Structure 1
Amino acid sequence: MKLDRITSNPNQMNGQPCIRNLRLTVRRVIELLAIYPEREELRQEFPELEEEDIRQALIFASSYLDDRIIELPTTYETVA
């Protein structure tokens, strides 16, 4: 898998992985996907961000997750 849009420069954004040497970190892209569930709205706010950038950011971020099982609570309270 080629992630040619993910860059890292120690002199930019503290060396965090960024999108195409932009001042837009992979972490920020993942956050933006949660904030803007509609891609069109995301594109309006960040026109420099391309679909391939998003795809590669997701692949890069998922590569840091391992296959361990995390126990989640089986019950929850409903908010009225």
Structure 2
Amino acid sequence: MTIDRIELDPEIMGGRPRIRGTRVTVSVVVGLLGAGHSVADVLDAYPYLAREDVDAALQYAAWRLEEREVPLRAA
């Protein structure tokens, strides 16, 4: 899965996924929306973000939730 607006760099924000070229993490965006703030509120709080950045954060979060961790059994 490639979402070009999301970056992961272990040297920035502890490697947490963030909006490309910023220090705004996906979790901040999703957390604000989950707390009832509108997309307009997020964009007002972070005027250097675009609507497409918010959409990418949601897309990335949804993709991550679809991943499954399967424990390995000892042979």
Q: Same fold (TM over 0.5)?
A: yes
Larger radius of gyration: 1
User: Which structure shows the bigger proportion of residues in helix conformation?
Assistant: 2
Runs of 4 or more off by more than 6 Å in structure 1? Answer: none
Q: Distance in 2 between matches of 1:66 and 1:20?
A: 22
In the alignment, structure 1 segments of 5+ residues that lack a partner are: 68-80
Mapping 1:45-60, distance limit 5 Å: 45-60=45-60
User: Which residue of 2 is the match for residue 33 of structure 1?
Assistant: 33
**Match for 2:16: what amino acid?**
Q
Query: Match of 2:54, as an amino acid?
Result: I
After superposition, the C-alpha distances for 1:11-56 in whole angstroms (9 at most, x for unaligned) are 1000111101311111111012134533323222110121111111
CA distance in 1, matches of 2:44, 2:36: 10
Long gaps (5+) in structure 2 = 68-75
Identity score, percent: 36
* Aligned Cα root-mean-square deviation (Å): 2.1
Q: Give the TM-score, by structure 2 length.
A: 0.74
TM-score (norm: length of structure 1): 0.70
Structure 2: distance between partners of 1:60 and 1:38: 18
